[in-house]
Amino acid sequence: MPSTLSRRYILGRVSLYGGAILLALWTLAPLYLIALAAFSTRQATFQWPKPFLPTDFSIDTMQFFVNSRGVLDSVRNSIIVALLTIAGSLVLGAPGGYALARFRFRGKEGISLGLLISKMFPTAILSIPLAVTFLQLDLYDSLWGVALVHIAMALPFVIIVTAGIFVGVPRDLEEVAQTLGCNRLQAFLRVVLPLALPGLAAAAIFTFVISWNEVFAATILTLRNRTLPAQVLSGLNDSPLYYRYAGGFFMIVPALIFIFLIRRYLLNLWGNIVR
């Protein structure tokens, strides 16, 4: 009896780890392969059959991509837009999140529902009319214009995520600070903010990812001042394969880093997003 039990246990463990590893391979394989493709020579793109080990490692393709016209500018643009998006959505959204977390007020349910609904809107329905408006306002082909749309897209998420973060800071701490001589703002700055900072940083990174990856609005709203995804997308059909591989890999790298940085917050950020 004990031996059958332990055999069942071992069998269970084996299938557990086997399954887990299989799924990990499924997730990692494309990442490995695109890295392999991006770090081969340009000629190797047309080689067939391809090697599965980095036998001809080369930065030739990446060099070509980075030196292509508009790429470095687009990377810079992407970073600027993402930073503007972080700043804008946190400055606008965090106070709202705080209000939802701390106060009971008339209209709160309505606002929460509104946020929920505004996350539903397709990017297209925002970007197309805004492209038309921005043309009139001279915001077309400007990074500000793209950042505004990205803020609009990120804002509902940021409010909900920051509300969750502020709920996690006990109200008592703020109140005790008030009895110890702080006004509301001081209590927030000295007590709530330091405690919320890791969560807010994670929210900022999350916002960066939204902006860094966004392609539809960025392409529609720009012509020369492309962000990186817009740059890659607009030239997708008439650029060589190795250019695309390098571009794809380039876009993926920050994702890997950021997911690692905010791994502790994964479930809070993405998991509860729809609530």
N-term to C-term CA, the chain: 48
How far is CA 183 from its chain centroid?
35
CA distance linking residue 126 with residue 132, whole number of Å: 10
Q: Under rule CB under 8 A, how many of the chain's residues touch other proteins?
A: 114
Of the candidates 6, 10, 14, 30, which one interacts with other proteins according to CB under 8 A? 30
How far is CA 218 from its chain centroid?
15
From the CB of 136, what's the least distance to other proteins, in Å?
Answer: 11
Of the candidates 42, 74, 200, 247, which one interacts with other proteins according to CB under 8 A? 247
Count of Cβ atoms closer than 10 Å to residue 42 Cβ: 18
* Residue 46 or 72 with smaller CB distance to other proteins: 46
- 8 A C-beta contact, residue 35 and residue 251: no
CA distance linking residue 214 with residue 235, whole number of Å: 16
Note whether 55 binds other proteins by CB under 8 A. Answer: no
Site for other proteins in 58-87 (CB under 8 A): none
Site for other proteins in 131-190 (CB under 8 A): 131-133, 148-149, 151-152, 155, 159, 170, 172-173, 175-184, 186
DSSP category for residue 264: G
CA distance linking residue 19 with residue 16, whole number of Å: 5
Q: Kindly tell me the burial class for residue 275, based on how many C-beta atoms sit within 10 Å of its own C-beta (0-12, 13-18, 19 or more).
A: exposed
Of the candidates 121, 137, 168, 201, which one interacts with other proteins according to CB under 8 A? 121
* Residue 96 or 199 with smaller CB distance to other proteins: 96
Note whether 41 binds other proteins by CB under 8 A. Answer: no
User: Which one of 59-67, 72-80, 136-144, 230-238 is the stretch in contact with other proteins (CB under 8 A)?
Assistant: 230-238
From the CB of 79, what's the least distance to other proteins, in Å?
Answer: 15
